[in-house]
Structure 1
């Protein structure tokens, strides 16, 4: 596998986490909510790291990528992180 092919596979693997994280981050920015002391970039980073961690856990648990249960867990985890970031 060439480096370009590896990077393409890695980008495809991480795309769902980055996409959902971006949508949730935009929602947080529109509502102008967020925990004090956590910047916008850090919020997006937390959402993406949580999402990629769930995708990696699904890959290890199921032995392959692309299971719907993994994507459901991705949405639940990133939604929970966004809810925590929203704070009150």
Structure 2
């Protein structure tokens, strides 16, 4: 496998994490304006991206292959919960 092919596979593996993180942060900015605007968007985006990459790696390690629906379900659950906690949306 060439380096460019490896890089393409690596980026494709991690792509769902920043995509979902960006969607959550943008939706948080639109729907929860008072909480989200006080916190900004760069720090939550970075935190959710790192957390999402960790979930994807844990799913690969636990399940033995990437692209399993359980991993993607865990990704959505963990990132949505982390964003909800970060915004303190229960208040």
TM-score past 0.5 threshold: yes
Bin of the TM-score, shorter chain as denominator length: 0.7 to 0.9
TM-score with structure 2 setting the length: 0.85
* Moved segments of 4+, more than 6 Å: none
Corresponding residue number in structure 2 for 1:64:
65
Asked whether the equivalents of residues 36 and 87 of structure 2 are also in contact (C-alpha less than 8 Å), the reply is yes
Match of 2:86 in 1: 85
Aligned residues: 87
SS of equivalent residue, structure 2 residue 82: helix
TM-score (norm 1): 0.88
Deviation by residue 1:7-37 (Cα, 9 ceiling, x = unmatched): 101110011111111100101222332496x
* Structure 2, gaps ≥5 residues long: none
Distance 2:7 2:52 in 1: 18
* Structure with higher RCO (Cα < 8 A, 6+ apart): 1
- Alpha carbon RMSD of aligned pairs, Å? 1.6
